[in-house]
Amino acid sequence: MSRTNASGHEDQENGRENQSQTMTALLRLRELLLSGQFLPGERMAELPLAARLNVSRTPLRLALTTLEHEGLLEMHPTRGFLVRAITLGDIYDSIEVRGVLEGTAARFAAERLPLDSLRAQKSLIEIRECVRALNVAVHASTSDMESLTQYIEWNGRFHALLLDLAESEILTREMERIVRLPFASPNSGFLLVQTRIPESREVLMIGQDQHRAILDAIEKREGTRAESLAREHSRLSRRNLEIALNDQTLRHLVPGGSLIRDTNFNIDLPAATRTH
């Protein structure tokens, strides 16, 4: 092997190693932040972090920059990366923006999907099967943890298929970006919390009714209705969060809850979601 080829091969290996270290650092740091290992305003010192995560500083900086874009960190002019405090307003805005994107995806699916094509028929079959599986999970007689796990898996699949049906690269790209923001994802990690909330089953059943209605609107080519239903559906994430934050015994279980700046929640929930 020539010296030039050997050098190129070494560069490729170093590039793959940096990518691997960056992903390792990103996943681990996100986990540490959401589990409350760092508090709002705390400085993310690079040298101790690199040693703790066993990565070099270059991939660590890339991971920190990614987390800044995700809204978990902020850059200070003199202190470097700091843990960002999150307000309920930030969370509500993130959920609202996701609702706008998913509403647009549902409308595109209803208005643009060529129902006479084999690809479209296959996609519709998949999302119908997904809705049926969600229905089984909601009405399952299994333990709360098992049925919730199944529901969350199929719920993620439903939202992915909805985006596929829209056939929009721009929507897909923007959705990938927005769901990285704190609490914006359809499955925001509330599994452990939901198993302890008496109202969780009721909220899941509301969500499942909305899944069926969204699919019905798409199949009937009712774009405006599909968009409205999908936007309303996204607000269930907000309702789940509010239920958990109003319960003193559950707040510490909310992933990322330690980053929320607001200390006086006392959120006025709709009567349908209060414990009777």
The tens place of each residue's pLDDT in the chain, 276 residues long, gives: 555 555 555 555 555 666 888 898 998 998 899 888 999 999 999 999 999 999 999 999 999 999 998 889 999 999 999 999 988 888 899 999 999 999 999 999 999 887 677 877 888 899 999 999 999 988 875 556 677 778 888 998 999 999 999 989 999 999 988 888 777 888 765 655 666 677 777 888 899 999 999 999 999 999 999 999 999 999 988 888 887 788 777 777 777 888 888 645 554 444 444 433
Say how far apart CA 91 and CA 68 lie, in whole Å.
16
Instruction: Quick: pLDDT tens for 86-101.
Output: 888 888 999 999 999 9
Instruction: Quick: pLDDT tens for 176-206.
Output: 888 887 778 887 656 556 666 777 778 888 9
Output phi, psi for 80, to 5 deg.
85, -150
Range list for CATH 1.20.120.530 in the chain = 88-273
Write down the pTM of the prediction: 0.77
Torsion of the alpha carbons at 251, 256, 262 and 265, rounded to the nearest 10: -30
CATH code at 3-83: 1.10.10.10
Q: Which residues contact 129 (CB under 8 A, 6 or more apart)?
A: none
Range list for CATH 1.10.10.10 in the chain = 3-83
Which amino acid is it at 28? R
Say how far apart CA 254 and CA 5 lie, in whole Å.
51
Could you name the CATH architecture of 88-273?
A: Up-down Bundle (1.20)
Say how far apart CA 64 and CA 21 lie, in whole Å.
12
The rounded radius of gyration (Å) of the Cα atoms in the chain is: 21
